[in-house]
Copies of this chain bind each other. A is one copy, B any other.
Amino acid sequence: MTGRPRDPAVDDAIRQATLELVADQGYRGVSMEGIAARSGVSKQAVYRRYSSKGEVILDALAAYARTRLPNPDTGDLREDLLTLLEETFAAQRGVPGALNQALAAEALQDADFARRVTETLIRSRRAAVGEILDRARSRGEVTYPDNDILIDLVFGPMWYGLVFDATKLTDAYAAELATAVTTLATSPPN
């Protein structure tokens, strides 16, 4: 049986309320009851769609990520990395940053959720950097043998910053990081 279809307006209201709450109160200000109250929706309407607070945030962030996934291709490794890092860090200074922080907080409390996040979001972000590296590699720019560690060096500092000091993620820092990773990736093999 199909039954009554879900009201798309309810979906939108939940997403919107989640964004607003996490934006101006951070992870601590987000609760299932709070989301329901703010969106003018019953708690069950939320629980019918999401099994936990983490799922709500993950969905909101996934929707955000679908719209803009940076994948620069300028023909120069450092330029590609710089563009990607600047765009990514700029996002971390705004609402997506708060969402990522909430995501991390949730992941730290639930290993299964952490795995879900990895498979949903992290993987595609890493793939984007992997493509940049592969293109540079085919141009002969990259000599470093291991993509994975290079990707860790790109994203590691970002999460480090998100946890302890998000203001660290400036354009200047993006430039330093792009330079460092490029230098390593193109360093002559010994």
Contact = CB atoms under 8 A, between A and B. Distances in A.
Contacts of A149: 176-177, 180
Nearest to A150: B180
Nearest to A105: B108
Contacts of A190: 183
Contacts of A159: 156, 159-160, 163
Main secondary structure of the interface of A (DSSP, over half): helix
Chain A interface size, as a band, is 35 or more
| Oligomer copy total | 2
A188 B190 CA distance: 12
A160 B155 CA distance: 8
Contacts of A107: 163-164
A144 B109 CA distance: 38
Given A152-B157, A160-B160, 14 more contacts: A104-B104, A105-B105, A107-B164, A108-B163, A118-B164, A118-B165, A149-B176, A149-B180, A153-B157, A156-B156, A156-B157, A159-B159, A183-B187, A184-B184
Closest 9 CB pairs of A and B: A156-B156, A156-B157, A105-B108, A156-B160, A184-B184, A152-B157, A28-B109, A187-B187, A159-B160
